[in-house]
Amino acid sequence: MRWIRLCVCAPVLGFGQQAGVLPDWEARKLLESLVENARKIEPMLAELRPAEWIAHGAPDAYVLQHRRVSQSIATLHASSTKLAAQPGRVNAAVETLFALENVQTYLGSVAQGVRRYQNPALADLLVALSDENGSNREKLKMYVLDLANSKESELQVMDGEAQRCRDILVRQPPPAKPRAIVPKLPAPAKPKDRL
């Protein structure tokens, strides 16, 4: 029984701090900055009129891309909120990174349409706002990579410990079989001799 407790507790003891991963408070600060910079884009998106660009020869894909930028900013906000609540969640970190990448991709395309069909100065401003998140984007990428590496290391250690525990349990001799207890019956009474 002592071995089982040791096998269960040993892997958990080493995982209080994840080496190489940003502390939770620093990750939250990074996420706040990402969302704040992305939110600066929203008022400018409201000024864009991609439906009117079509009359000037623009492809109608700009309308969809304009909508996708707004959706990606909303997704970035939601996923970063989820990640801030649980900074150790790899899936939330990856979702946040993908949302940020989508904002950058769609915004870059929309900025080209703005430059050609609406206002080149506004396009430059959109690109500048997008670039403000450049260093944060790189920090987020490193955070996701460090977090994934840390979780993979934890899983390897836990798997090794589980294997070690299985080996210990397999090598233990089987418990002794309980002996059947046969109750002693009183000896039959001997018949008394009659004389």
Query: What SS3 class is residue 81?
Result: helix
Which residues of the chain fall short of a pLDDT of 70? 1-19, 193-195
Confidence (pLDDT) at 135? 84
Q: How far is CA 43 from CA 78, 88, 133, in A?
A: 19, 32, 17
Q: Specify if 63 maps to a domain.
A: yes
Which CATH number fits the domain that encloses residue 93?
A: 1.20.120
Q: Specify if 137 maps to a domain.
A: yes
pLDDT tens readout for residues 75-111: 999 999 999 898 888 889 999 999 999 999 999 999 9
Domains: count for the chain: 1
Report the predicted TM-score, pTM, of the whole model to 2 decimal places: 0.69
Q: Specify if 59 maps to a domain.
A: yes
Q: How far is CA 141 from CA 50, 101, 146, 192, in A?
A: 31, 10, 9, 100
Domain that holds residue 83: 20-170
